[in-house]
A and B are shown apart, each in its own frame.
Chain A
Amino acid sequence: MDPRIIVVTSGKGGVGKTTTTANLAVALAKAGYKTAAVDGDIGLRNLDVVLGLENRIVFNLVDVVEGSCKLQKAMVRDKRVENLFLLPAAQTRTKDAVSSDQMLKLCDELRENFDITLIDSPAGIEQGFRNAAIGADEAIVVTTPEVSAVRDADRIIGMLESMSKSPIRLVLNRLRPAMVKSGDMIDVKDVLDILAIDLIGVIPDDTAVVVSTNKGEPLTLGDDSTAAKAFSNVARRILGEEVPLLDLDSPDQKGFFGFLRKALGL
């Protein structure tokens, strides 16, 4: 496989970019691919805490692009999973600390050293996002089934298209199947109709995600929740496997009454 660089982005903040990046990075490393998880949010670093590697950071992305430290030296190796490395963002600098040229050069170096690189993009559509995306080949857009998040995703998709990223695929995060059934949440199909891009996964809203972030242990390390399975499936789809979408129906939608509801189109 040629080395791949994938930017994980969303436009809107708080929809689950970092959680998605962390879980996918772990799952891809577990699948045997040498994986780099890069925190592109200079000044607001977060990927380190979600991955549970915050105490092991010595150098960061800005040190590498400024040439004060070699890439290999800045990468934090995850001791729990073979093949997983984190390049943390700088916390005491701002987004202006990195230029587009520096990012492109960094991406070239990442390509030489890793099978797959995931870049966690900052929220917004400004330079921080552009830097995170500029060196990437592909993009994963994370959104939630909310009007504001979908609107921002649309804007970001337009920008990624104009930057010639391909493929651009969608993760629909925090879906609540029961609310979809009762008609109070936009459905997967609606989001896809509106955004007109390919889906790479649907992640149910799951309390396990909060617990995993509290602990700094991504779900894909070995949790058996539905969200963990959903993230693992996204990773498998990134690797080209065809995996059907999970059945996210809550228990009350199953069984005889579930059948009845389905038959009535409810």
Chain B
Amino acid sequence: MNFLARLFQMIGKEKSKETAKKRLQLVLIHDRTDISPEMMENLRKDLIGVISNYLDIEEDKIELDFSKEERSVALVANIPVKNVKRRAERRAEPA
């Protein structure tokens, strides 16, 4: 970050150029993957559903987002595990 950006961050004001850049980067990630916020939310719910069959996870601490590299995008999920379920338990639970 350059001096100016740091200075403006200190006084709580961001230059419109930075705002434009951030907005563009976000909007393009969604444009390129063709995924709407609603779809993201559904994906999160489905992921929780599937993973919960196998692991005890901290649902409210899940981080799910896209990370950008050149022109490709990766879906990165950070899912804290509380406990691994026992074999018998896993089989007994409905899918």
Contacts and interface: CB of A to CB of B under 8 A. Distances in A.
Nearest to A146: B20
A151 interface: yes
Interface residues of B, number: 20
Interface stretch (B11-19, B48-56, B86-94): B11-19
B60 interface: no
Q: How big is the A interface, by class?
A: 20 to 34
Contacts, number: 47
B27 A196 contact: no
B21 A196 contact: no
Instruction: Identify whether the interface residues of B are mostly helix, strand, loop, or mixed.
Output: helix
B51 to A, nearest CB: 32
A54 B20 CA distance: 39
B21 A183 contact: no
B82 interface: no
A265 B2 CA distance: 6
A151 B21 contact: no
Nearest to A194: B24
Interface in B17-73: 17-18, 20-21, 23-25, 27-28, 31-32, 70-71
Interface of B: 2-5, 8, 15-18, 20-21, 23-25, 27-28, 31-32, 70-71
